[in-house]
């Protein structure tokens, strides 16, 4: 599955926000000051309803087109994992498309028997894998992945497991979940996983609301996690393509781990490479039972429907799912207060650049709004970084800045690519110089108002489609408060110059930052053949 951005994982989120920072000005209509109606006109008429089992529904009736954007968000992300099972949340994003007893198989009974037998064999394989890890610790083998280092018993069990997999494949109906939807005229089925949430979404014709209710409730009520180990391997390959095979992927992952000393945001959403192959189906079942229950899930519908009918259908279909008996464990490990600057230097197959991160505040914190305003004073084509570093000093070709407020903590990210003949160190110092100005001087009233107008214009743009409103509600609810779709605008407008200068002084200190400097990796020198 893909997402907006692609599953929001750690440094990949930062990469996405860099691009968002570069493009934000276009949302401001080219930076022009424009006259806008009162902000109250932008209010989204969200109806909230709680089903009998505790599941929340958010409903927005819009009759502009005969379609409904529907989705749901589970309040569980990679921050809810623990070492040893990192990546399991993202794995569930994949597994939730594998079907039910009636979707995805030709023989549900035999399918379940094969799943149980596969797990029995995998348990025996894990015993052998434990022995191989012990041999690796003793230095008897050099690489756990090398086939020659696998024990004879492990190879025997692997062959038996593969036979079971092949038998199961004969029973499967591939992509049946997607086929049912597309046959009914639905489109855009997708999902994403982030540090804080997992969300699923699709657009269906207005007359297919009941189909959506049945399909989505079925995979929550009676999921079958078939092909678990095969899909686990798919996720591992996805990790390789997204991280190991990209110029900066491994470095960004290492930098993210450097930024977070204690918080679970320090591990990648996709999971550590040693954890993914070790996750068992039993661990996955336990994780599902802990987090995928009604009180931890929110349904969202935006489009052409009657709210009363939608609630009645949801009660009929989703109401079948039993209430959870225990609240999910809270994330209690907070980031320790930084006491010194952290730095990473790397040679990469990429343009010379610098990436700077400061620890800031989580979603909903009062300082998140002036920090976002501060970011936009720096970013965009009319912002201080572009005018100062790209057009003025001409030390950079690209610059970016953004405030990223997650559920439990936040980051401010700024950086840029060095122009030929200049260094990342020059770009870094120029960024600090621009920040220092805003620490000592209030931004002019016109400049501050222009940024606020940019936010207001962006708010209007984000309310133009069912899918856009759906995505906002899913993400905001996953972060902790869907009401921000209506409350954030006035909060941005209320930010003062004093607020901007205060947060600039409070958070942008040397000991609070982490810096990654990338220089171009020297080209390999060809070896002469005698």
* Rounded Cα gap, residues 182 and 168, in angstroms: 25
Burial tier of 272 (Cβ tally within 10 Å: 0-12, 13-18, 19+): middle
**One domain, residues 499 and 367:** yes
Give 56-101 pLDDT, tens digit per residue: 999 999 998 999 999 999 999 999 999 999 999 999 899 899 989 9
Tell me, yes or no, whether 273 lies in a domain: yes
Q: Which is it for strands 297-303 and 56-61: parallel, antiparallel or unpaired?
A: parallel
Summarised one tens digit per residue, pLDDT across range 372-390 is: 999 999 998 889 999 999 9
Provide the pLDDT confidence category of residue 463 given band limits of 50, 70 and 90.
confident
280, part of any domain: yes
Looking at the fold, whether 353 and 207 belong to one and the same domain comes out as: no
Number of domains in the chain: 2
Same domain, 405 and 313: no
Asked whether the predicted pLDDT for residue 491 surpasses 90, the reply is yes
382 and 474 both lie in a single domain: yes
Residue 156 domain-assigned (yes or no): no
Question: Residue 359 has what pLDDT?
Answer: 98
What is the per-residue pLDDT for 27? 30
Residue 403 counted as domain residue:
yes
Identify whether residues 234 and 290 lie together within a single domain: yes
Could you report the per-residue pLDDT of 140-167, keeping only the tens digit for each? 999 888 889 999 999 999 999 999 999 9
489 and 452, same structural domain? yes
Instruction: Give the domain extent around 438.
Output: 15-28+336-520
The answer, yes or no, to whether residue 23 has pLDDT greater than 70, is no
pLDDT at 309 over 80: yes
Q: Are residues 373 and 514 in the same domain?
A: yes
Closest listed residue to residue 92, CA positions, set 81, 103, 102: 81
Domain presence at residue 6: no
Within-domain flag for 151: no
- Whether 287 is in a domain gets the answer yes
Q: Helix, strand or coil for residue 161?
A: helix
Convert 445-456 into a string of H (helix), E (strand) and C (coil): HHHHHHHHHHHH
Same domain, 277 and 383: no
Residues facing 414 on adjacent strands:
356, 401
Choosing from 262, 292, 320, the residue where a domain stops is 320
Domain end position, chosen among 294, 320, 346: 320
Of 72-76, 244-248, 281-285, the range with the highest mean pLDDT is: 72-76
Distances (CA, A) of 431 to 198, 204, 400, 425, 519: 35, 46, 10, 10, 18
Indicate which CATH number applies to the domain containing 454.
3.30.830.10
Domain membership of residue 487 (yes or no) is yes
Residue at a domain's end among 292, 320, 348: 320
């Amino acid at each position: 599955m893909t997402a907006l951005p692609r599953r929001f994982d750690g440094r990949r989120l930062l990469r996405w926000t860099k691009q968002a920072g570069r493009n934000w000005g276009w949302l401001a209509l080219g930076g022009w000051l424009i006259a806008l109606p009162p902000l109250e006109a932008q209010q989204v008429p969200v109806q909230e309803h709680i089903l009998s089992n505790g599941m929340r529904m958010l409903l927005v009736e819009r009759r502009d087109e005969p379609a409904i954007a529907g989705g749901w968000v589970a309040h569980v992300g990679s921050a809810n994992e623990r070492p040893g099972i990192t990546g399991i949340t993202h794995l569930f994003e994949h597994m939730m498309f594998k079907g039910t007893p009636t979707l995805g198989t030709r023989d549900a009974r035999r399918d379940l028997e094969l799943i149980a037998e596969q797990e029995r064999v995998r348990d025996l394989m894990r015993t052998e894998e434990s022995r191989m890890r012990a041999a690796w610790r003793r230095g008897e083998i050099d690489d756990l992945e090398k086939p020659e280092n696998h024990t004879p018993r492990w190879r025997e069990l692997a062959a038996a497991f593969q036979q079971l997999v092949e038998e199961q494949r004969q029973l499967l109906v591939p992509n049946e979940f997607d086929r049912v939807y597309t046959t009914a005229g639905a489109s855009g089925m997708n999902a994403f996983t982030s540090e804080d949430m997992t969300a699923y979404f699709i657009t269906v014709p207005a007359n297919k609301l009941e189909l959506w209710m049945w399909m989505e409730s079925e995979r929550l009520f009676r999921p079958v996690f078939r092909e678990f180990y095969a899909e686990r391997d798919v996720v591992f390959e996805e990790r390789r393509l997204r991280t190991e095979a990209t110029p900066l992927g491994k470095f960004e992952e290492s930098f993210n781990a450097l930024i977070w000393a204690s918080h679970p945001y320090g591990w990648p959403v996709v999971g550590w490479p040693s954890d993914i192959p070790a996750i068992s189906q039993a661990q996955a079942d336990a994780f599902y039972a802990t987090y995928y229950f009604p009180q931890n899930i929110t349904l969202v519908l935006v489009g052409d429907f009657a709210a009363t009918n939608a609630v009645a259908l949801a009660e009929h279909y989703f109401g079948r799912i039993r209430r959870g008996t225990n609240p999910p464990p809270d994330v209690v490990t907070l980031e320790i207060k930084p006491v010194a600057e952290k730095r990473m230097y790397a040679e990469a197959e990429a343009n010379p650049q610098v990436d700077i991160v400061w620890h800031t505040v989580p979603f909903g914190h009062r300082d998140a709004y002036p920090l976002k305003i501060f970011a936009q004073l720096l970013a965009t084509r009319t912002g201080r970084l572009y005018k100062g570093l790209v057009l003025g000093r001409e030390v950079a070709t690209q610059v970016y800045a953004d405030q990223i407020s997650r559920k439990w903590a936040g980051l401010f990210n700024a950086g840029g690519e060095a122009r030929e003949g200049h260094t990342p160190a020059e770009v870094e110092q120029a960024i600090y110089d621009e920040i220092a100005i805003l620490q000592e001087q209030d931004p002019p009233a016109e400049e501050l108002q222009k940024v606020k107008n940019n936010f207001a214009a962006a708010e209007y743009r984000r309310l133009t489609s069912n899918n856009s409103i759906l995505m906002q509600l899913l993400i905001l609810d996953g972060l902790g408060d869907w009401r921000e779709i209506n409350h954030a605008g006035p909060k941005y407008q209320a930010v003062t110059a004093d607020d901007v200068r205060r947060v600039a002084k409070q958070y942008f200190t040397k000991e609070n930052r982490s810096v990654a400097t990338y220089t171009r990796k020297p080209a390999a020198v060809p070896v002469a053949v005698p």
